Structure 1
Amino acid sequence: MPHSLPLLSLLSVCLSLSLLLFLSLLLRSFFSFKRNSLFFLFLFDPLLLFQRNKGIASLSSSLSLTSTMDKPRVIAILPARLKSSLLPEKLLMDLNGEMVLSRTYHAVQKCELVDEIWIFCDDQKIVDACSGLTKNILLTSAEAPNSTHRIGDNIHRIESKWDYIVNVRSDGPYVDPVNVDFAIRKHLELMSSPSSSSSNIAFTTVHQQLEDTEYLCSPRSVKVVVNSKNEALLYSRSVVPSNKGLKFNPHDYPYQSFTGIYVYNEKALKEYLSLPKSLMQDQEDVEQLRFLDAGYKIMSYPAPHFNEIYLNDQNDLDYLTKKYAALNEAGEKKKKPLYLDCTVRDGGYTNFWRFRMGTVSQLYNTLCDARVDYMEIGFRNCDKMYNRSETGVWRHLDEATLRKAVPKKQFTKLAVMVDCTNFNPDIIPPASETYVELMRIAFHKEHQTRAMEICALLLKQGYQVAINAMATQRYSPEELEALVKATVDVGATFLYVADSYGCLTPMEVRSFYDRIRKLADAADPKNNLLIGIHLHNNMGMANANAMVAAECGYDIIDSTILGTGRGAGNAHTEVLACMEPTLRATRSLFRFCDEYRDLY
């Protein structure tokens, strides 16, 4: 009998653990649909608690909304050279309705593990062409012989903090973001492995099998030979390995090509410029050989997805244009819209903009994690309409407050709104002196002339500018035509349909887009105007209308956390995150919704 007591105790413990595991799995399934109680989720979900925090002592940190803080920070750099002997100024060429460099930028923007993107270019033409795309553009010397040299020689000039740099060829308009993320993930694994001689790894990359004989034999493609340990042995523009008969058939041997993706080891990147010159590198014109000649390792893995060819010459341009034009017509490469969260600005009408500093910081990190493109962080106005003493700081935002809330820029860009009748140019710094990239001008139609004057001023200061025509449904056909023409003429980045009364139907959402697009093209066939929509929820149609807007071609769509906003509120950020493939319905997003509901 005494011997049975330990056995009974053991069985009791096992039964208790099994019951606890069952409850945990049951609750996790339940909370994937009903995220209404953060407290009980963590109380009864010990698996989640230990996975995220490795111990009960870290419970307080698990309630933080900044889930990405411990992740290594990865910056993607697109080295952009204007001159090309085979296809001059190819990066600025149009490819199925979008500039080549812009396509590459937007492809990399979809990477889950990239926190920030920079363009390192060698000509002011590229800076000017990308001014509406991003502020993260660095003008470098035109003398850099290759992309690694350009990055290594200039990385110290950017203020952004980073742990790893990924170099993505800027002439890869259809680069697959899955391959970029895969290379980053492999590099992080190598760097964290205790058995890995990580200090001797120059970079990690991916390769893919060549299946086209013509491209195999072309010097445009860089071939690579990899050993069984995924170490690159040789790079060449010739076919390697070769054979006595000089007959090459990709069906007889799995020839591999380099994909133009490099995830650098920091030490190797900094040492690259001081490495001795390589005769092989000079002969082949392949920068990777300088690392191999110096004794570094290059780790190369099979790409998980097909990686499209890069744009080298006119043949490549014709091929890519024809291939992806057909896919566009078939609807397989439909352009995805940008998303802007305006919780702090529009949601401020519900609490007089009295958001806590920590809440705004957490919201920014949450939106970065969810891959929301813009966050509108408040107003920059004078005190004419709202007395500063009666509102929170977000109604009259200054740069010091902004930088306290967002100490460093990450994925999500920052926007602010100015009221046309409360505009004070003296409190608007040049775009180069602030984290704000997008200025939105709100006005009623009787103030249109003044709005265009403000737009011209802000564009001259280097901002992207959105024209937000409030109560757009009040415009007559003639007034709408005049609005679109004025917006195109002044060169604004966005023109917004503002459903101020929340009364638009899905059919009217489509109709506004079609009418504005036609009017813009009539005003200037070469216009670059982007069309946005701001939806209110008076008829309960905001989320449905946002999905219709994404389907019919709007370029940017507004939303707020829990739909918080003036009157009946707005479209819901968390709902759109569940519906839109380019956004992430992250756990931190729903945690923020829980805490936000309780606070405000």
Structure 2
Amino acid sequence: MSVLIVIPARYESSRYPGKPLAVLRGASGEAKSLIERSWNAAIAVNGIDKVVVATDDVRIKDAAEAFGAEVVMTSSKCRNGTERCAEAHDNLGGGYDIVVNLQGDAPLTPAWFVEDLVKGLQADPTAEVATPVLRCDGRALNGFLEDRMAGRVGGTTAVFTRDHHALYFSKEVVPFTSEVYADEAETPVFHHVGVYAYRPSALGAYPLWPAGPLEQLEGLEQLRFMEHGRPVLCVEVEARARQFWELNNPEDVPKLEAMMAEMGTP
């Protein structure tokens, strides 16, 4: 099966304008933009046929091409990363069996997250979309709860059936738990990792559907598939002692830099 990774990136953002060009310093002190670190995460994945950055902004295009990325220009009318991936796939002429959306705000995504995701979609013929979920330890869950108490949007959580088909995704912490967990303790909460693998039929249909009320309320693009009756597979992945966090707010920059320093990420 041929696999395409698309890294959707837009400059305009209500929460964090210019986010793809935000600079992160690794353990060595080397400064690289968020889009370059996301590109490096994508090209580290095994079994991928092509990687492209999809954007509508010439500043991102110029920055990406400067470090050697292939760029596909897309419309400014794309409402989210999934629509941008659909347009990029079309602009490339289609033909891929699986399209992966590796969002440009998750540079700490380990290669095996994406590899396991692709394998999961290949193994479940009933699923049209797949996305990784990572069981939270107490440290991660406490971070989610602190963000919500401070009025910040932190990570997204997921709940799913026994066969791992998604029931719901939320920016709130679900399911509710009143228990207090130690940092290393296992919790019942799953962190949704912002990566998607699509079958082209579902990806091509997506931009034609109106956004439903749940997608609009939560601001979560994957809910559109569920609101239109398309099954979403949650593929559980393992951290393997790696920390994971998305860059959602400017306040997350020092958090990611601290994680990179702790893990020795250059």
Question: By the TM > 0.5 criterion, same fold?
Answer: yes
Identify the match of residue 173 of structure 1 among 107, 127, 130. 107
CA distance, structure 1, for counterparts of residue 69 and residue 143 of structure 2: 40
Identify the match of residue 118 of structure 2 among 159, 165, 184. 184
Q: Deviations over 1:40-87 (max 9, x none)?
A: xxxxxxxxxxxxxxxxxxxxxxxxxxxxxxxx1100000001123333
1:24 maps to which residue?
A: none
Equivalent residue letter for 1:309: W
Identify the match of residue 47 of structure 2 among 113, 120, 130. 113
1:229 maps to which residue?
A: 163
- 5 Å-filtered alignment, 1:379-458, equals none
CA distance, structure 2, for counterparts of residue 225 and residue 213 of structure 1: 18
Q: Is structure 2 residue 249 aligned with structure 1 residue 317? A: no
1:284 maps to which residue?
A: 218
Q: Is the 8 A contact 2:225 2:231 kept in 1?
A: yes
Equivalent residue letter for 2:80: N
Distance 1:316 1:105, change over 3 A: same
The 3-state SS of whatever aligns with 2:54 is strand
The 3-state SS of whatever aligns with 1:255 is strand
The 3-state SS of whatever aligns with 2:83 is helix
Q: Is structure 2 residue 235 aligned with structure 1 residue 301? A: yes
Q: Is structure 2 residue 25 aligned with structure 1 residue 93? A: no
Distance 1:333 1:220, change over 3 A: closer
CA distance, structure 2, for counterparts of residue 177 and residue 273 of structure 1: 28
TM-score by length of 1: 0.39
CA distance, structure 1, for counterparts of residue 76 and residue 48 of structure 2: 26
- Give, in angstroms, the shift of residue 133 of structure 1: 2.7
Q: Is structure 2 residue 128 aligned with structure 1 residue 214? A: no
Q: Deviations over 1:191-222 (max 9, x none)?
A: 4xxxxxx3xx2311210123332324533211
Deviant stretches of 4+, over 6 Å? none
Identity of aligned residues (%): 23
1:392 maps to which residue?
A: none
Q: Is the 8 A contact 2:73 2:88 kept in 1?
A: no
TM-score by length of 2: 0.85
Q: Is structure 2 residue 265 aligned with structure 1 residue 333? A: yes
Q: Is the 8 A contact 2:21 2:33 kept in 1?
A: yes
CA distance, structure 2, for counterparts of residue 119 and residue 278 of structure 1: 27
2:129 maps to which residue?
A: 203
CA distance, structure 1, for counterparts of residue 118 and residue 186 of structure 2: 31
The 3-state SS of whatever aligns with 1:282 is helix
Q: Deviations over 1:248-306 (max 9, x none)?
A: 64568511121011110221111112224311111111111111111111110211224
Q: Is structure 2 residue 76 aligned with structure 1 residue 150? A: no
CA distance, structure 1, for counterparts of residue 216 and residue 255 of structure 2: 30
The structure with the largest helix share of the pair is 1
Q: Is the 8 A contact 1:169 1:260 kept in 2?
A: yes
Tell me, which stretches of 5 or more residues in structure 1 are unaligned?
1-71, 192-197, 335-600
CA distance, structure 2, for counterparts of residue 135 and residue 88 of structure 1: 22
Tell me, which stretches of 5 or more residues in structure 2 are unaligned?
26-30
Equivalent residue letter for 1:133: F
Q: Is structure 2 residue 2 aligned with structure 1 residue 73? A: yes
The 3-state SS of whatever aligns with 1:130 is helix
Distance 1:307 1:159, change over 3 A: farther
Number of residue pairs the alignment of both structures matches: 248
The structure with the largest strand share of the pair is 2
Q: Is the 8 A contact 2:96 2:200 kept in 1?
A: no
Q: Is the 8 A contact 1:208 1:307 kept in 2?
A: no
Q: Is the 8 A contact 2:157 2:190 kept in 1?
A: yes
The 3-state SS of whatever aligns with 1:295 is coil
The 3-state SS of whatever aligns with 1:131 is helix
Q: Is structure 2 residue 19 aligned with structure 1 residue 83? A: no
Q: Is the 8 A contact 1:176 1:307 kept in 2?
A: no
The 3-state SS of whatever aligns with 1:234 is strand
- 5 Å-filtered alignment, 1:534-549, equals none
- Give, in angstroms, the shift of residue 239 of structure 1: 2.0
2:175 maps to which residue?
A: 241
Tell me which structure has the larger Cα radius of gyration: 1
Distance 1:255 1:130, change over 3 A: same
Q: Is structure 2 residue 29 aligned with structure 1 residue 103? A: no
Q: Deviations over 1:87-111 (max 9, x none)?
A: 3212112211211111111111111
2:197 maps to which residue?
A: 263
Equivalent residue letter for 2:62: D
The 3-state SS of whatever aligns with 1:77 is strand
The 3-state SS of whatever aligns with 2:76 is coil
The 3-state SS of whatever aligns with 1:286 is coil
Q: Deviations over 1:354-400 (max 9, x none)?
A: xxxxxxxxxxxxxxxxxxxxxxxxxxxxxxxxxxxxxxxxxxxxxxx
CA distance, structure 2, for counterparts of residue 123 and residue 248 of structure 1: 45
CA distance, structure 2, for counterparts of residue 284 and residue 249 of structure 1: 26
Equivalent residue letter for 1:215: F
The 3-state SS of whatever aligns with 2:7 is strand
CA distance, structure 1, for counterparts of residue 78 and residue 32 of structure 2: 27
- Give, in angstroms, the shift of residue 182 of structure 1: 0.6
Equivalent residue letter for 1:314: P
Give the CA RMSD over aligned residues.
2.1
